[in-house]
């Protein structure tokens, strides 16, 4: 870091590519380097400033006035480039436009509204775990549990029809890649953009949704005048974009954590009420959503560095969640810690609105497993699936030891 006469700090520069496949598959070394380089690092390859320390990431997340989302939370700057789809009314909007959709969806996904799902989801988890265990002790926990469970319960809760649900994960994979730069991962999906978008958009129509799901409630809010009828399908689209891959890879993170920390699994088995905290700790430890961008609405000074108006800022949520200045033994997955304050769900006005849904999925699945399984161990190297934004998985081969 160089300090100029005016007290303006020239940040360290790096030509590293945070979206290179090797980095996406193993991001921790880069996170450490960026945190240690300084509170702000200039990434020359993308002409953006990066924040990797908890203090600065947290401060940017809560300062929506100076760090806006409306120009997109990916690398593409909507002020200059056309978004690949109409911007999200929640994720890619700022107050006041952001507020009505947010209020409507918050109500629909709030804990009291989820109570009616608990019994059904609990039963679904018990049944799935019984069936998986009946197939023998060796399994791919990614495919058989982490991926299967959200797909089993979430689309029904939204009110989707039975056809084409296998488009959900590919659509999400594409959408989360699209927050990154136009690299090979984005290009690999390009041939499916039109087809997958058409399917998702069709599911957002009122006629496509059952009468008792989250989707129908969004449309009912439009009837009440809380939203316009033009906004309703876009809010449904947010559920379909944000609600599947995130939970699949969040549950994978939790299962991976327990497969590699048997003493923590023991602790969960003794105190199953720790399931929710365990999920939050897994979200902190793995950060399923690794990065998001903001755009400076004015020349913003961060730790002495001036980030120019209109430019993008890359926030490393995963790096902040393991910042040793904020967390004791940050690399340890530990149910004894209080993970609250982690930025894996973001922070501030955009903080994950679906987090109660995700926690409920995790709670019922982990407690069903904890009752029946004494130990989970890896039988082979788990495989990651590279994605520009998500810390995602391709396989998690394990052996489970059924409880006596
Ligand atoms: C944090 S993940 C995410 C949130 C919202 C949307 C997509 C992804 C959206 O489309 O609103």
Of 72, 84, 88, 237, which is best to mutate to test ligand 1, by the most ligand atoms within 8 angstroms of its C-beta?
Answer: 88
Angle at 249 between CA 244 and CA 254, to 5 degrees: 125
List the residue whose alpha carbon is closest to atom 7 of ligand 1.
242
Which pLDDT belongs to residue 7?
80
Q: Is the pLDDT of residue 329 over 70?
A: yes
The H-or-E segment that residue 220 falls in is helix 214-224
Ligand 1 atom nearest to 90, measured from its CA: 11
Q: Which two tokens stand for residue 94?
A: 């700022």
Average pLDDT, the chain: 97
- As a whole number of angstroms, the distance between CA 123 and CA 396 comes to 24
- As a whole number of angstroms, the distance between CA 362 and CA 48 comes to 35
Establish whether residue 367 lines the binding site of ligand 1, counting it when its CB lies within 6 angstroms of any ligand atom. no
**CA 91–ligand 1 middle distance (angstroms):** 6
Residue 14 to residues 121, 293, 295, 383: CA-CA distances in angstroms?
47, 17, 20, 28
- Domain spans, the chain: 2-402
DSSP state letters, 223-255:
HHTSS-TTTHHHHHHHHHHHSSHHHHHHHHHHH
Q: Selecting from 3.40.50.1820, 3.40.50.300, 3.40.50.880, 1.10.630.10, what CATH number does the domain 2-402 have?
A: 1.10.630.10
Which pLDDT belongs to residue 5?
59
Establish whether residue 246 lines the binding site of ligand 1, counting it when its CB lies within 6 angstroms of any ligand atom. yes
Establish whether residue 167 lines the binding site of ligand 1, counting it when its CB lies within 6 angstroms of any ligand atom. no
pLDDT in tens, 19-38: 999 999 999 999 999 999 99
Q: Where are the beta strands (DSSP E) in 297-356?
A: 300-302, 305-307, 312-316
The H-or-E segment that residue 317 falls in is helix 317-320
Which pLDDT belongs to residue 337?
98
For residue 367, report the phi and psi dihedrals to the nearest 5 degrees: -70, -35
pLDDT in tens, 233-287: 999 999 999 999 999 999 999 999 999 999 999 999 999 999 999 999 999 999 9
Residues in the chain: 404
Establish whether residue 88 lines the binding site of ligand 1, counting it when its CB lies within 6 angstroms of any ligand atom. yes
Residue 73 to residues 44, 52, 68, 298, 336: CA-CA distances in angstroms?
19, 16, 8, 17, 33
List the residue whose alpha carbon is closest to atom 8 of ligand 1.
242
**CA 197–ligand 1 middle distance (angstroms):** 15
Q: Is the peptide bond before 96 cis (omega within 30 degrees of 0)?
A: yes
Buried b (16+ CB within 10 A) or exposed e, 367-400: bbbbeebebbeeeeebebbbbbbbbbbebbbbbb
Q: Is the pLDDT of residue 342 over 80?
A: yes
**Cβ atoms within 10 Å of 290's Cβ, excluding its own:** 26
Q: Which two tokens stand for residue 401?
A: 């030891």
Establish whether residue 57 lines the binding site of ligand 1, counting it when its CB lies within 6 angstroms of any ligand atom. no
**CA 127–ligand 1 middle distance (angstroms):** 30
Of 84, 106, 238, 343, which is best to mutate to test ligand 1, by the most ligand atoms within 8 angstroms of its C-beta?
Answer: 238
Percent of the chain with pLDDT over 90: 98
Ligand 1 atom nearest to 89, measured from its CA: 11
Per-residue pLDDT band for 75 (boundaries 50, 70, 90) equals very high
Whole-prediction pTM: 0.98
pLDDT in tens, 360-404: 999 999 999 999 999 999 999 999 999 999 999 999 999 999 998
pLDDT in tens, 186-226: 999 999 999 999 999 999 999 999 999 999 999 999 999 99
């Amino acid at each position: 870091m160089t300090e100029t006469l005016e007290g303006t700090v020239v940040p360290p520069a790096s030509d590293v590519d945070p979206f290179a496949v090797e980095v996406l598959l193993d991001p921790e070394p880069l996170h450490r380097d960026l945190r240690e380089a300084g509170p702000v690092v200039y990434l020359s390859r993308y002409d953006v400033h990066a924040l990797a320390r908890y203090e600065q990431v947290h401060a940017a997340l809560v300062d929506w006035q100076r760090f806006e989302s409306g120009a997109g939370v990916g690398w593409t700057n909507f002020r200059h480039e056309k978004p690949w789809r109409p911007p999200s009314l929640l994720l890619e909007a700022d107050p006041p436009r952001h507020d009505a959709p947010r209020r409507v969806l918050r109500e629909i996904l709030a804990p009291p509204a989820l109570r009616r799902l608990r019994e059904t989801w609990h039963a679904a988890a018990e049944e799935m775990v019984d069936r998986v265990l009946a197939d023998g002790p060796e399994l791919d926990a990614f495919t058989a549990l982490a991926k299967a469970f959200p797909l089993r319960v979430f689309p029904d809760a939204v009110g989707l029809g039975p056809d084409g649900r296998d488009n959900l994960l590919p659509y999400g994979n594409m959408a989360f890649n699209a927050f990154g730069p136009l690299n090979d991962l984005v290009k690999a999906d390009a041939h499916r953009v039109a087809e997958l978008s058409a399917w998702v958009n069709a599911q957002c129509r009122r006629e496509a949704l059952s009468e008792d799901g989250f989707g129908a409630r969004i449309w009912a809010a439009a009837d009440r005048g809380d939203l316009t009828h033009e906004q309703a399908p876009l809010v449904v689209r947010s559920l379909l974009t944000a609600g599947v891959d995130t939970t699949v890879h969040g549950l994978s993170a939790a299962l991976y954590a327990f497969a590699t920390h048997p003493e923590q699994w023991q602790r969960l088995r003794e105190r199953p009420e720790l399931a929710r905290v365990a999920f939050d700790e897994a979200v902190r430890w793995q950060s399923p959503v690794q990065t998001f961008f903001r755009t400076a609405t004015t020349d913003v000074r961060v730790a002495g560095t001036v980030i120019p108006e209109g430019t993008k800022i890359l926030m490393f949520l995963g790096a902040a969640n393991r910042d040793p200045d904020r967390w004791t033994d940050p690399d340890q997955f530990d149910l004894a810690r209080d993970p609250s304050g982690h930025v894996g769900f973001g922070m501030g006005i955009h903080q994950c609105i679906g987090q109660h849904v995700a926690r409920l999925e995790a709670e019922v699945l982990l407690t069903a497993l904890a009752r029946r399984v004494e130990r989970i161990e890896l039988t082979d190297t788990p495989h990651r699936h590279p994605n520009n934004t998500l810390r995602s998985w391709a396989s998690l081969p394990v052996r489970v030891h059924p409880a006596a």
